[in-house]
Amino acid sequence: MSTVPVAQRKDFWRNFDIQYHATHPGLRHMKNNMWELPHWMHWLGGVLVEHGYDDLQVVDLYTEPNAFSEPGRLAGEVVEAAARAHPADVYLFSPMTVNLYYAYAISDVVKRVHPGAVVVYGGVAATPLAHEVARHPSVDYVVVDRGERALPALLDALAGGGDVADVGNLVYRREGGATARTSRRYPDLMPADIPFPKVDLFPPGTGEDIRYLRQVYALGCPYKCTFCTIQTIGRRPEYFPLDRVIKEIRAYQKHYGDHHSIYWGDETFTLHPEYTLELLEALEQAGDIRYDCQTRLNCLTDDRILRKLKSSGCQWVEIGLETGFQESHETHKHHMKLDAVRDTLKRVRDAGLAACSFTVNGFPDQSPDDMRRSIDWVCRLLDEDLLQATYLFGLVPYPGSAMFEHPERFGMKLLHRDFRLYHEDLPPVFATEKADPDQVYEVFLEGLDLFARAMDKPPYFGDAPPPSTADEYGTFWADPHV
């Protein structure tokens, strides 16, 4: 991803990171600020190995320091060298929206260097934009929705000379350039039936580049937030077997470093108390697994969960507060009642858990002054030590979200489809009757400064070493990143 240099981010991330380090004793800094491994690659790698496709490689341009010659411009010679060093029959891409332009550019190089190779796209951006992506001359096929069944079926058809029209969940170009979606729809594979991930896709040294190891307990989230793009939105969660989950954690830690804590990627980790308690009991019995999780405010009302989170190794809870306006929650994030915020956060804190909020600026039903009041509200929660830290993102109507599909329903007008600019650190790609992009972005930059100041305080939990040198915390804030 091409990172965006935002001057206000430096102090923001620096103070955020001091709060984070204080609650994560023994945390090592990231060599290349990679945050985490791309979980989908290990997942589908395991699926492919199970089906006999075991000659797999990763073309790693993420941690390549010279991948961009300048912000927004890929270094063509670096990409070509990587493609030549990794000849393959099939190349798989799963870009995020803002990466789509760069994925196309890499695909162009792949097709030029290896004309006979097949290029397949899938994932969170390619699914809602399937026909558009399939029209790109360097893309051969798009797998829509989940790919555990479709991808092996496609490879089988390509290897055996079969008809790809018989493969489900597939969009492709016909002769003449028109795109078509195959009629077959595969049912989702249940978590218990998904093959064990191919943990060793990356070399062990990659463990020096990441902040934590992502793990998943359940697939699915029953809520339908208007800005969300996860492909299991609005679906009942299905859970992985507990022994499988623990085995995955051990396998990742063995390969990439047992010092790593776990980040639970479930959007609503504490949604179902009984399932959650079963996992927390298993983690407590393990005794040496430290972890962070994310959830919703209304999923933190069970005192049993709060007690068990702490005793089972939880260090940091990320909560989607998004905005301080109840009206916005009624429209964009169902079942969130802000009158419970202070009481719930106090109970989280009293249970010994550090809380961090997700804050989003730019909701279309808010004026710039409304946005400022929302930021001030989060600052007060930080000042009162009810929150230890907060993220701040600019609102982006990503493809796949209700906001992108029907912006008019929310009083939004999309200004363009240049997906390079669909970035949470850039001015909005939409306008509303209440605010234009420049006004929204001005509040965003103000918010970064205000949050940086609010987080510039002694940690409520743990101790932070004096920031005398960058090595105390790594170089997390030294460069722009996402």
User: Is pLDDT at 474 greater than 70 in this prediction?
Assistant: no
482 close to 5: Cβ distance less than 8 angstroms: no
pLDDT in tens, 30-72: 777 778 898 889 999 999 999 999 999 999 888 788 898 887 8
What pLDDT band is residue 122 in, cutting at 50, 70 and 90? very high
Candidates 3.20.20.70, 1.10.230.10, 2.40.50.140, 2.60.120.380; CATH matching 9-33+202-472: 3.20.20.70
Percent of the chain with pLDDT over 90: 80
Among 136-140, 233-237, 249-253, 376-380, which stretch is predicted with the lowest mean pLDDT? Answer: 233-237
Q: Residue 479: is its pLDDT beyond 60?
A: no
What average pLDDT does the segment 83-100 reach? 96
Q: Which residue has the higher pLDDT, 239 or 176?
A: 239
pLDDT at 209: 85
Taking alpha carbons only, the member of 119, 146, 121, 117 closest to residue 133 is: 121
Which of 68, 19, 69, 78 lies closest to 476 in space, CA to CA? 19
Q: Which two tokens mark 146?
A: 């989940």
**How many CB atoms lie under 10 A from the CB of residue 186?**
16
Q: pTM for this structure?
A: 0.94
Task: Report the percentage of the chain scoring pLDDT > 70.
Answer: 95
pLDDT digits (tens, 9 = 90+) for 236-261: 899 999 999 999 999 999 999 999 99
DSSP annotation of 233 reads B
Structure tokens that stand for 155 in this block: 């490879």
Query: Which stretch of 161-170, 213-222, 467-476 has the lowest confidence by average pLDDT?
Result: 467-476
Q: What is the mean pLDDT of residues 3-18?
A: 88
The pair of structure tokens assigned to 167 is 């493969």
Does residue 481 carry a pLDDT above 50?
no
Q: Is the pLDDT of residue 476 over 60?
A: no
Whole-number pLDDT of residue 157: 97
First to last CA, the chain: 8
pLDDT of 466: 63
Question: Is residue 482 scored above 60 in pLDDT?
Answer: no
Residue 470 has pLDDT above 50, yes or no: no
Residue limits of CATH 3.20.20.70 in the chain? 9-33+202-472
pLDDT for 5 equals 83
Burial letters 369-383, b for 16+ CB under 10 A, else e? ebbbebbebbbebbe
The CATH number of the structural domain formed by 39-181 is 3.40.50.2300
State the pLDDT at residue 14.
Answer: 87
How many angstroms separate the CA atoms of 377 and 340, rounded?
A: 14
pLDDT in tens, 327-353: 999 999 877 889 999 999 999 999 999
Average pLDDT over the chain reads 92
Cite the residue boundaries of each domain of the chain with CATH code 3.40.50.2300: 39-181
What pLDDT digit, counting tens, does each position of 407-441 carry? 999 999 999 999 999 999 999 999 999 999 999 99
Q: What is the pLDDT of residue 472?
A: 55
**Contact predicate 302/6, CB 8 Å:** no
Rg (Cα) of the chain, in Å, rounded?
Answer: 22
